[in-house]
Amino acid sequence: MKQKNLSRHKIKSPYPYSLVIPAFLAYTILYVIPAASGFLLSFFNIKTFKISTFIFAGIENYATVLRNPYFSVAIKNTLLFAVFTTLGKLALGMSLALLVNNRFRGVNYMRTVFFLPAVLNNVAVGLVFRSMMHPIGLINRTLTGIGLETFTQNWLTNPKIAIFSCAFVEIWKWTGYTMVILLAGLQAIDSTYYEAAELDGANRQQKFYFITLPLIMPSFNNAVVISIVGGLKVFDIVQSLTNGGPGNATSVFGTLIYSSFSSGNYGRGCAASMILTIFVLLIALPTNRFLSGKEVEL
Amino acid sequence: MKKYSDMFRSALGLILSLFMLVPFIMIILNSFKTKKESAELGLEFPKQWNFRENYSVVMSSGILHAFRNSCFVTCLSVLLIILVSAIAAFILQRRGTKLSKKLITFFVIGLIVPGQIIPTYMLCSFLHLKTFFGAAAVLTAANIPLGIFLYIGALKSISRDIDEAAILDGCDSLSLFFFVIFPLLKPMTVTLFILTFMNIWNDFGTTIYFLNTSENYTLPLTIYNFFSTHSSDWNLVFTDVVLVSLPIVILYFSAQKQIMSGMTSGAVKG
């Protein structure tokens, strides 16, 4: 009798697809369709939101964006920013995760404080650092105060270093977040592996290279992909720190798209946005595949 | 030996945490200063306290209204995200068919593909989805991939035997989900709650398009407004930053234990 009951339930699956519909509709209508139509719109000349005023422009928008002298600067800056912040967040986040993966006095306080910048909003963070990186701001005055006057800089107005200053702020904000992702990986490692390795006489370095590193690959992979995608999409940190300036020294994809939008060239903005999407996919997907290949099956 | 290395760790951690805290101290101290003192952009203690004046100026600039708008948009979208993505992830993970796997990929790819704000805005104005409901709907849609991704990970560790037992006891799909599975997903729900709350409370890029009159501003939009109109009044900018950040910082501290344990319980590691 019970057997029969169960099989009847199996025919009328207890997992009906109808319950996926709300998520599916919301995501498709408000995320996927706009992304797809953004591709179409990027071939039109759009000055107002009335469909009747759209004029087909072929690849003109792409040509304009690619010819824009700011564009090569923006590509270079976006890539520099993404690479530099990913390296910084992973290196610092990993060191902090290894530090707070121990039990000692104040470890909970530290985890809490390191994660704290992640809850602030980017505009607030940008403006605070804008004040600290001001020529007479806190950073330069501290450097002068401790006798390192030669290291003082116009952090945000020197075109050569401004993009690195922006990257520094991004690293400050998200290092604690990266730390937490990596900490999750560290804590999931079964301590018996270390015990077994100790019995076999492994030293600290060996334990790190042969146990810790391979076993945190899944969280490492996540942290890298999140960081690269976040770095390539950067907008509000740079906008609030430098507005893409001085000149166009710190312009990135995000500010380029924004300036096409605010000057009313919506089609051009869509084209820039599409180029960014292609960039993100071309970089994030192979990275993910490469790092996934390094994960070990247990 | 062990004791010394622990003391070293504590000391190192303390120094590093102070370094992380400098910008916070900067914000708070300068929100207490007069315009002239705050223009020095320093970390000194205020010589002249201007606490009451700064805060009353900013409070009367419509920030309470913005707080209400922020609460409305954030609460509505966070609730929707948790509900629709938990239930969708449950079905898709449990099915385990080719179609459901394809659907999972379809959702999760949204974590990588950037949102296209201008077409989204055009579509919403076409659908008459304006202001708060438009912003909430768009932010919900944009965070569904994260919700599905995280819940799928958590569901893998919940045994199907539980489902079968509940079904034998006469549960239908909805009661199985709400009374059996959803409570078991609580650590992940806490994590998702805080991550999406952060994303949406702090959102600037989406809300600026939908809530573009000062009447409709959410909290992050008020900072920029202040900065551009009173660019030299650093005391007021910092006061605004304090008030904008306070709610989410309080939330973070009060739920700090659950957040840390939720996020490190294997939630985000994939």
CATH number of the structural domain spanning residue B76: 1.10.3720.10
The confidence score (pLDDT) of residue A91 equals 96
- pLDDT surpassing 60 at residue A3: no
Number of domains in chain A: 1
Chain A residue numbers touching B117 (CB-CB < 8 A): 34, 273
The confidence score (pLDDT) of residue B104 equals 93
Residue A63 lies in a domain: no
Q: How far is B74 from chain A (nearest CA, A)?
A: 14
Residue B224 lies in a domain: yes
The ipTM, to two decimals, is 0.87
Q: Which residues are bridge partners to A44 per DSSP?
A: A56
Chain B residue numbers touching A24 (CB-CB < 8 A): 88, 103
The amino acid that residue A79 corresponds to is L
Residue B20 lies in a domain: no
Instruction: List, in order, residues 6 or more apart from B255 with CB less than 8 Å away.
Output: B190, B194
CATH number of A224's domain: 1.10.3720.10
Residue B48 lies in a domain: no
Average pLDDT on B6-10 reads 86
Average pLDDT on A264-280 reads 89
Return the percentage of chain A with pLDDT > 70, whole number.
95
Number of domains in chain B: 1
In terms of pLDDT, which residue wins out, B200 or B131? B200
Q: Residue A253 belongs to what H/E stretch?
A: helix A253-262
The confidence score (pLDDT) of residue A297 equals 60
d(CA B111, CA B129): 24
pTM: 0.88
Flag the least confident range among A145-149, B17-21, B183-187, B194-198. Answer: A145-149
Residue B237 lies in a domain: yes
A185 touches chain B (CB under 8 A): yes
Chain A residue numbers touching B13 (CB-CB < 8 A): 99-100, 104, 106-107, 109-110
Q: State pLDDT tens for residues A75-113.
A: 999 999 999 999 999 999 999 999 998 888 888 889 999
Nearest to B88 among A19, A266, A285 (CB): A19
The confidence score (pLDDT) of residue B129 equals 81
Residue B41 lies in a domain: no
Question: Could you tell me the residue range of the domain that residue A188 belongs to?
Answer: 70-293
Using an 8 Å Cβ cutoff, are A226 and A85 in contact? no
3-state secondary structure of A55: strand
Q: Residue B24 belongs to what H/E stretch?
A: helix B2-30
Contact B120 A96 (CB under 8 A): no
Return the percentage of chain B with pLDDT > 70, whole number.
95
Q: State pLDDT tens for residues B113-169.
A: 888 888 898 888 888 887 888 899 999 999 999 999 989 988 988 888 999 999 999
Using an 8 Å Cβ cutoff, are A261 and A38 in contact? no
What is the Cβ-side half-sphere exposure of residue B65, based on CA atoms within 13 angstroms? 12
Residue A159 lies in a domain: yes
Residue A25 lies in a domain: no
A144, two tokens: 């002068």
The confidence score (pLDDT) of residue B270 equals 42
Q: Which of A10, A131, A143, A266 to mutate to test the interface with B (most CBs of B within 10 A)?
A: A131
Question: Could you tell me the residue range of the domain that residue B136 belongs to?
Answer: 63-267
Residue B13 lies in a domain: no
Q: End-to-end CA distance of chain B, in Å?
A: 36
Highest mean pLDDT: which of A227-236, B59-68, B74-83?
B74-83
B96 in the Ramachandran plot: left (φ > 0), alpha (ψ -120 to 50) or beta?
left
- pLDDT surpassing 70 at residue B229: no
Residue B40 lies in a domain: no
Nearest to B41 among A118, A134, A222 (CB): A134
d(CA B90, CA A196): 37
